[in-house]
Amino acid sequence: MDRKRRVRRIRRFIFVGMPILLLTFATLSVVLTVRSVKLHRSLVQAREELNAYMEAQSEWEYTRLRDTADAEDTETAEVLSDEGAVSVEGDTETPTAREIPSLSKAEVDSLTLGNEELYDGYRKVYLTFDDGPSINTSAILDILAKYDVKATFFVLRKDGANNEKLYRRIADEGHTLGMHSNTHEYSVVYGGEEAFMEDTTSLRDFLYMVTGVESNYYRFPGGSSNRVSVVPMEVYGELLHDNGIEYYDWNVSAKDAVVPMPSADQIYWNVRSGLSDHEEAIILFHDTASKTSTVQALPRIIEYIQSLDNTVILPITETTNPIQHLRVQDNK
Ligand SMILES: [Zn+2]
């Protein structure tokens, strides 16, 4: 009897208990996988938000320092106003001629170099996109192609065939391929001179392998005025120089880094009001996957800039005057 009962129990377990157990495990594993994918997605998004936020903070810091320096450096500003006078007659909306005051006379003279000489006397506007590539990079490239405008992309390293296609599109379509570190992780990027150069060289080699282009352009994560790095940022600037790389900050921000994401309309006005201060403007945008309103605002922004007198949209090249927050800090 005992044996029979045991056999019945085992059979019951095999035919009822086991399937229930298996089903429970399968359900649990599906639930956990979904949850982990969701968590990973939130983590990526949070990291992107943090990255962009650091850049927004850096922009604020730069603006504050620039305004302080402004009052002390009207002499240089006058020289620049003479050099790059633009017509402002009859249109109160047109930005007035004014330049960031961080340039010396020698630097002003050095502006007339290479191909940008063609645009001497023009207001120069540079559209720059940080933290990509992403799905939005593709949409941005389409818009730039439509308006026949060249821009600059400061990219991170993102593996996968789709991303590789985007790096190639940037280079092949005549835009400037700039670097923005491998992962944007401050502890890695700013972990000392050796770590910084290792990060930069590895990204540079990766981009060269994918596109055949050796990038000589860099934008520091968080900008050169970031407060994250314990090593003075000048040290990293020098290292880049030693390796034939120039770094570029920005003097106009789309302010598309803030949370919640501003509307396309707000982004348009952020750029438009920022532009009014500058004779040469490097505009900071972000092209991560969440920045859809940046994409929506872009056509209107380009149309506005193209409607301005004596104004040209250019990609950053080696002849571009690098806007550098550190130089403004030096001047204060
Ligand atoms: Zn960034």
- Give the pLDDT confidence of 288-318 residue by residue, as tens digits: 999 999 999 999 999 999 999 889 999 999 9
Helices (H), the chain: 2-12, 18-72, 74-83, 105-109, 135-146, 161-172, 186-189, 193-211, 233-242, 264-275, 292-307, 325-331
Query: How many angstroms is it from 109 CA to the middle of ligand 1?
Result: 31
Residue 42 resides in a domain: no
Residue 49: CB atoms within 10 A of its CB come to 18
Residue 20 resides in a domain: no
Query: How many angstroms is it from 147 CA to the middle of ligand 1?
Result: 25
Query: How many angstroms is it from 61 CA to the middle of ligand 1?
Result: 16
The more confidently predicted of residues 7 and 111 is 7
Residue 270 and residue 300: Cα distance in Å, rounded? 12
- Position 33 scores a pLDDT of 86
Q: What 8-state DSSP symbol labels residue 157?
A: P
Residue 31 resides in a domain: no
Query: How many angstroms is it from 197 CA to the middle of ligand 1?
Result: 18
For residue range 50-78, list pLDDT tens digits in order: 776 776 666 666 666 666 665 554 443 33
- Position 117 scores a pLDDT of 65
CATH of the domain at 271: 3.20.20.370
Residue 231 and residue 191: Cα distance in Å, rounded? 8
Residue 45 resides in a domain: no
Segment 168-176 shows an average pLDDT of 97
For residue range 29-56, list pLDDT tens digits in order: 988 888 888 888 777 777 777 776 776 6
Query: How many angstroms is it from 8 CA to the middle of ligand 1?
Result: 66
Query: How many angstroms is it from 90 CA to the middle of ligand 1?
Result: 39
Query: How many angstroms is it from 241 CA to the middle of ligand 1?
Result: 20
Query: How many angstroms is it from 45 CA to the middle of ligand 1?
Result: 13
Residue 1 resides in a domain: no
The more confidently predicted of residues 103 and 313 is 313
- Position 70 scores a pLDDT of 55
Q: pTM of the full predicted structure?
A: 0.74
Query: How many angstroms is it from 288 CA to the middle of ligand 1?
Result: 10
The domain of 75 spans 50-331
Query: How many angstroms is it from 282 CA to the middle of ligand 1?
Result: 15
- Position 104 scores a pLDDT of 41
Total domains, the chain? 1
Residue 268 resides in a domain: yes
The more confidently predicted of residues 8 and 168 is 168
Residue 23 resides in a domain: no
- Position 5 scores a pLDDT of 85
Query: How many angstroms is it from 183 CA to the middle of ligand 1?
Result: 9
Residue 15 resides in a domain: no
Query: How many angstroms is it from 145 CA to the middle of ligand 1?
Result: 24
Query: How many angstroms is it from 86 CA to the middle of ligand 1?
Result: 32
Helix (H) or strand (E) holding 285: strand 280-286
